[in-house]
Amino acid sequence: MPSESVVVEPLGKFVRRGFSGAIRYFAFILESLHNVFAAIQCFHLTVEQMFRIGITSIPLVATTSIFTGSIMSWQLAYQFADMIPLTYVGMAVGKSVMTELAPILTAMVLAGRIGASMCSELGTMAVTEQLDAYNVLGMNPYKFLIVPRMSAAVIMIPVLTILSIFVGLLGGFFVAWVYKDVSFHTFFSGVRLSYHDWDFAVGLIKAALFGFFISSYACYFGYYTKNGAEGVGKSTKATVVFSMTSILIGGFTLSKILLI
């Protein structure tokens, strides 16, 4: 009996903590949606966050995308060699980059860069009682801090995904051309051969959802941070872990729903 309580009691606390956290998270999202028009009312704050999320992330996203397309192209050219026409290298690279690789890898890179930064910033404000000062002064933190960040992420991550798709295709073509002597016409004929507008739209839908995941977790964990610097570190870790897990699960789920 004592041995059972050793297992059951911690498990019960874990489940109860998980349920209470989920309820608080959904309450946080509802409150954010209730203040969603703050993104327009405080448009200058939203634009500031769009710059921080989007413009400053361009070099990192571009570098990641070049090598993503390059690796994909090299592997496909290697696998397809002497078996099927190399036109299909462009087709496979285009499909995979548009629908899966660009949105997922862009989001995962930004989960580490933007999500962690956003969470640590809000977490520091929470533990130093700056968020309490907002409430005392009658300034709604959701309006001035939360909604502009979430709105900017949902807008800018799809924009960065478009850049990622473009750069990834160029990187894929460059590797296929240099190492497998695939011409520009051959590679992009393959891309056009399988292109559908819906593939591009699916990538952007995924990117918008991933932007919501990253920003909502970052704002939620940052807003409820406690226990000083240690709490900020734990909140930042939770943001990255939850974001990356949700990106992978959400990517698979949307592919299953939208690509049928």
Q: What is the 3-state secondary structure (H, E, C) of the chain?
A: CHHHHHHHHHHHHHHHHHHHHHHHHHHHHHHHHHCCCHHHHCHHHHHHHHHHHCHHHHHHHHHHHHHHHHHHHHHHHHHHCCCCCCHHHHHHHHHHHHHHHHHHHHHHHHHHHHHHHHHHHHHHHHHCCHHHHHHHCCCCHHHHHHHHHHHHHHHHHHHHHHHHHHHHHHHHHHHHHHHHCCCHHHHHHHHHHHCCHHHHHHHHHHHHHHHHHHHHHHHHHHHCCCCHHHHHHHHHHHHHHHHHHHHHHHHHHHHHHHCC
Residue 3: the pLDDT is: 56
HSE, side-chain direction, 13 A CA sphere, residue 209:
19
pLDDT of residue 2: 55
Distance CA 15, CA 85 (A): 54
- What is the pLDDT at residue 1? 47
Given this model, what pLDDT does residue 169 score?
92
Please work out, in degrees rounded to the nearest 5, the angle formed at the alpha carbon of residue 44 by the alpha carbons of 61 and 235. Answer: 55
Amino acid of residue 23: I
Burial of 157 (0-12, 13-18, 19+ CB in 10 A): buried
For residue 134, the Cα-to-chain-centroid distance in whole angstroms is 28
* Per-residue pLDDT tens digits for 223-249: 999 888 889 999 999 999 999 999 999
Q: Which residue numbers in the chain have pLDDT < 70? A: 1-7, 81-82
Angle formed by the axes of helices 197-223 and 116-127, to 10°? Answer: 20
pLDDT given at position 38: 79
pLDDT on residue 39: 77
Query: Do 258 and 205 meet the contact criterion of CB atoms below 8 Å apart?
Result: yes
pTM of the model: 0.89
Amino acid symbol at 170? L
